Structure 1
Amino acid sequence: MTSSWGGPAACPERYRQGKQQLAAAFGLEVVEMPHTLKPADWLARNPQARAEDLMQAFADPSVAGIISAIGGEDSIRLLRHLDFEVIRKHPKVYMGYSDSTVSHLACYKAGLGSFYGPSIMSGFAENGGLHEYLRLSVQRLLFEDGPAGEIRPNPDGWVVEQYDWTDVASLTRQRPLNVPLPWRYLRGQGVVRGHLLGGCLDVLDMLRGSRCWPSLAQWQGAILFLETSEDAPAASMLRYFLRNLAEQGALQGLQGILLGRPGGKLAPSRFVEYDDALLQVLDEEGLTELAVVTHMDFGHTDPMCVLPYGAMVEIDCDARRISLLESATLP
């Protein structure tokens, strides 16, 4: 469904490829909601229609799961039109990332776990077919019983090159892989556990104080996961956001922080800027023992792994291993 930018109408071939590759990989029947294929400018003017699609998707018993078509920048405009009770009464899979952080926190507010992972047009529509790392993560999290177990780094490398989605010829042209980078275990000792809570930094910054912002109690004991968009916001934005969490009292209650590989066309040599900003705030707050892992394979990086909101995760700092102890929780 389209809760943000109207990408399916703007780039129909890219959208069609994502649908086909998703259906082929997992044996799904993909259907649109009433306004999914509306022109992008119409959807921009009608956030209520997008909200209606989301509510209808949750309420419809024939719909087993909801996958975001693509991100954007204005899903926050849907919030006033959402009925959290509809989400609570009709629990089902919801997956997306980036601007879908809004819908994820709405689900969390309603007591529903969800899945921070690929969208139809970014991830499932990957040029030349799905990356195996993404396929296996989706398979384990959404189609197999029990906890997914260890989340491992992607051994095959990652892509950052962007092709024009309106260029049909590029849809089958595979993007070049960058050399794999190890995850960085910056701090922490022993084993810590907590429930996953977070999303895209750019969107979370917009959501502070909104009706779906987590309560202080919900932050307590959490493992915060954060990633940045393709706009490549400066590391200072991460510093400002974490200082705000500290002022709320939320940062002090965390069990750990997971940071995704920075989004956008940043040179890997600059990734450390985000690490430094994060550690600076933790030092300011005296949180020098908090478990911190960075450069992870989720968010605005391809291929990405799936993270389940609300599920318990374990960080073994000594063994350098991260494991999901349960699937996304349902009410």
Structure 2
Amino acid sequence: MIKPQRLYEGDTVAIVSLSSGLAGEPGIRWRAEQGIRHIEETFNVKVKVMPNALKGIDYLYDHPEKRAEDLNSALKDPEVKAIICAIGGKESIRLLPYVDFDALTNNPKIFSGYSDTTSNHLMFYNNGISTSYGPALLTDFAENIEMDDYTVESIRKTWFSTEPIGDIKPAAKLRKYGLQWDIENKEKRRPLLDNAGYESINGSGAAEGHLIGGCFEVIDNIRGTELFPDLNQFDGGILFFENSETNITPETLEDNLRSLSMIGIFDRVHGIIIGRPESGIYYEEYKEVWQKILKEAGREDLPVLYNLSFGHNEPKFILPYGLKAKVDTEKLTFEILESAVTD
């Protein structure tokens, strides 16, 4: 994988809305501004909002080409060193016909987002560029009062350092989901909940491999499209999956995991990490579904860690696509064994 260059203080970071245009809605604009301020103050970088990023839900839904135009421009802009997505959504796959893939491959840059941004990550991944399944503007960067230290530490280790990222500890606390994004809540902190830590739910021992995955619902929805990775890209991988706030039923998870099993993905990977279900909903039920499907696949040996803090969790750590990682179900540890960026 081609790695982007690291960030330095004083560098410029671009904001794009490649999925939902929520950041530009009148009632949410304050939150986008709060996130921008936190980026600037916490990391001492400059923020450049791309021309269409704040044009609202309806305009950006009707104009996927404008969303792609912002991405293309940010990639080609020599001033921009990193690109951060405003939020996820439902249909960023619609950008595919409009993305300038020459610009994408010739200008590797830090690129961050999660959820529906999985589709965008795979545009990079399928072209050999490592990106960050990580924080978004309206959620992590715009956390009320201040950003979470756990998230800030992950950003610094992943984007600002060329040292191997190393051991990823469980988040000691989790943010309770559900604080309404109304301006009257601007000075209100979300409650923190205790986190139980990592849990081994399948297999034994340790496994190493390259990171590949994303939001489960998006991965499932893009099956059959050109964005879905070739099966050989799963060979020897560490698969990472997490689910969105829609909280699909355990029955739906079972059906969709079985489909992925039948195309052979679980036969190819070396290990799996699974993000904590959003708000802990279906925590035990999802775990039982995974165990059932892996037993059906004859992969009761496959090391699987559960309850990791990425994706639809705050705080979160960053998963850089394609990097070598290690899962250990005996020690209950997860490590990223190389740096995500270069000098």
- Output the amino acid matched with 2:188: R
1:217 aligns with 2:232: yes
Deviation, structure 1 residue 191: 2.3
Decide which moves more: 102-111 or 81-90: 81-90
Gaps of 5+ in 2: 1-15
Q: Structure 2: how far apart are the matches of 1:241 and 1:86?
A: 34
Q: Structure 2: how far apart are the matches of 1:194 and 1:236?
A: 29
Q: Structure 2: how far apart are the matches of 1:64 and 1:310?
A: 20
- Number of residue pairs the alignment of both structures matches: 325
Is residue 57–residue 66 contact of structure 1 (8 Å, CA) maintained in 2?
yes
1:10-56 CA deviation, whole Å, 9 max, x = no partner?
Answer: 11000000011111111111111111111221111011110111111
Matches within 5 A, 1:247-326: 247-263=262-278, 265-267=279-281, 270-326=282-338
Deviation, structure 1 residue 317: 2.2
Q: Structure 1: how far apart are the matches of 2:76 and 2:255?
A: 38
- Output the amino acid matched with 2:234: W
SS in 1 for 2:197: coil
Question: TM-score, structure 2 length as denominator?
Answer: 0.91
Gaps of 5+ in 1: none
Equivalence for 1:128: 145
Q: Structure 2: how far apart are the matches of 1:75 and 1:2?
A: 9
Equivalence for 1:4: 19
Q: Structure 1: how far apart are the matches of 2:325 and 2:98?
A: 32
1:201 aligns with 2:216: yes
Equivalence for 2:204: 189
Equivalence for 2:13: none
Is residue 98–residue 200 contact of structure 1 (8 Å, CA) maintained in 2?
yes
Is residue 95–residue 116 contact of structure 1 (8 Å, CA) maintained in 2?
yes
Q: Structure 1: how far apart are the matches of 2:265 and 2:101?
A: 23
Deviation, structure 1 residue 271: 0.2
Question: TM-score, structure 1 length as denominator?
Answer: 0.95
User: Relative to total residues, which structure has the larger strand share, 1 or 2?
Assistant: 2
Is residue 117–residue 305 contact of structure 1 (8 Å, CA) maintained in 2?
yes
Q: Percentage identity across aligned positions?
A: 36
1:163 aligns with 2:179: yes
Q: Structure 2: how far apart are the matches of 1:199 and 1:216?
A: 15
1:197-253 CA deviation, whole Å, 9 max, x = no partner?
Answer: 111111112211222211111011111101111111112333223222222222210
Which consecutive segments of 4 or more residues in structure 1 shift more than 3 A?
none
1:97-150 CA deviation, whole Å, 9 max, x = no partner?
Answer: 111101100010111000011101010100111011111011111111121100
